[in-house]
Structure 1
Amino acid sequence: MKVKAIRVHKIGGPEVLTWEEVEIGEPSEGEIRIKNKAIGVNYVDIYYRTGLHQEPLPFVPGKEAVGVVSAVGPGVTGIEVGDVVGYADTPMGTYTEEQIIPATLAIPIPPSVDHITAASVLLKGMTTYVLVKQAFKIQAGHTVLVHAAAGGVGSLLCQWANALGATVIGTVSTQEKAIQAAEDGCHHVIIYTEEDFVAQVAEITSRKGVHVVYDAVGKDTFKGSMECLMPRGCMISYGQCSGRPDPVPVSDLASKSLILGRPGMRHYTATRDELLHAAGEVFAGVAAGVLRVRVNHVYPLHEAARAHADLEARRTSGSVVLLPAMPAADS
């Protein structure tokens, strides 16, 4: 059968995202086919489109989606046609109307969570879970610095860190995003386009520094982030939207006994049990009101190029979602 999808035939800007027909077959042993209802957009999708991360051409981008099971392959148990499931990080290829995935990667979506919310929080939420409970375990009394505090992961990071009892410092680019970051649990918000965030963090912490920095910006903030850490602090780099950070000699960490980490969600959700536990933590946070999902931008799937352009230009905040079928406008 043929479905419509976004494909990348060459590395480049948003314009290389083309809307075309692709062939999709029946699920094989241990696989299911999903009719996507909502697709999450993540900055990592841009990394693949621009060649920062490698994927053989041509490819369908996307690492997060929620949909309804439309077919079940031989040997699959516990999943039926009509079930609502999500999938995140792997396999690549969610920018499509339908996709086939291994059944072991399907995550049941609670009935209380709608398709768009689930597609907005699954990958970002599990990433946040890894950041605050695995890569560095935030405890009450910690002081944390979150860059891009109004972004998809940043927003959830601020909320979860606040709920765990941390003092949260967030950096953003505009006053509008500063308001959102404060609403999401930032006790101190720094507009880095107007202020030196290193100097501001020093002032806020009385020059003690922070226990951990969560940095998804990369090159533009990395060096300053290291300066913000207290002795025995932890630098968690989980993205590089401004480019790869310059290399850091290991010996540079010794002056303050710092720890540097670059965690990837897939290594913390490698088994079925780990995957379902991480997703369960996220959905429990949503149900308890600890995590408020901000779906601030929704585009038709065929306008993925516009979504990418807006995300790269930092015109977005919160989550960005693509819909294969947009709801009809109110008359």
Structure 2
Amino acid sequence: MKKYIFAAILFIAFGISCAMSATFGDLNSAKKKYPDIFIPKNVVEMKYQGTQCYVFNGMAEQYFSGELAETDAELHREAEMDAKCNLYSFLSKGNSHIVISVSGMHSVFTYKEGKFYHAVFVVPKENVSIKTKTTPAQPQVLVSPQPIDHGTAQSSGKTTLSVPLTANEKKDISGTNNITIVIIDTAQSASGKLENTSPDQSVSIDERLKKYTKKLQNNPADIYLMIRIANLYKRTGNTNKANQFYYRAIEQSLDDKNGNKVIAMHVMLQAAQFEEECGNYPKALKYYRLFIKCNNLKKWGMNTTVNEVNAKISKLLLR
């Protein structure tokens, strides 16, 4: 009898141990039983299948449709990058000198809610290395993302990519041979009239923002004004507003079938580099990939730029 009692105790203890060691089950059950792991940006330390783990989540937004739409695989990669940034923020506690590397990370849930793609990831705690930064981070290391929601990002002023113009485009852009992806110094109004928008030191950025915003209200499809406004917000460090206007410019350029597609390509690259500078790597990846998806890049003589963008994508995917 004692043997049976002892066996029963062991069985109950094993059952309790299994209950304490999460396996999550299906998505609906997990949302009810473990709601904390689905809270955006939340990181939970818990036992998963008998191992102490970090459970965290990431999200990606479906921006585009049709032939340029992001695939589920692309959205998953963006969500994974977002999740890594969330894990870094949680573990580093704001210390930019901390370097964190992970291995054995995998997703336990993926699901869509409207245009948002969500993924929940698990990584064993013993597979997470936290060190003080002494040497440049290797590609596989989670690099500290710069804040993207508090207006702190500043432009480096560096130009690393450019879009060569066709003969017709050169006529439209004041005779320049290349459009840098950091600054457009010439804007074009909806009427087609070229307008000098070089910074006037006597006019404050706020005054220029009011001026261009008012013009945009009268010409809501003017891509050049959107770019100018985005660049001004970028200079002030207001990353959220800059992001909004870069996205509007991209969306408008894609919607306009008769629009200047080379300028559209330029905006994508400018937005991608800006997001990368801000540490918003998932969105940078989205814009670089969008650029590559465009069919006429070789026709427009952009082979070199395509190679540079592919290198950027490869570097981001190693994060």
What is the TM-score when the length of structure 1 is the normalising length? 0.29
Larger Rg: 2
Whichever structure has more strand as a proportion of its residues is 1
Compare the two structures and name the one with the higher helix fraction: 2
TM-score, normalization: structure 2? 0.30
Which of the pair has the greater relative contact order for Cα pairs under 8 Å at 6+ separation?
1
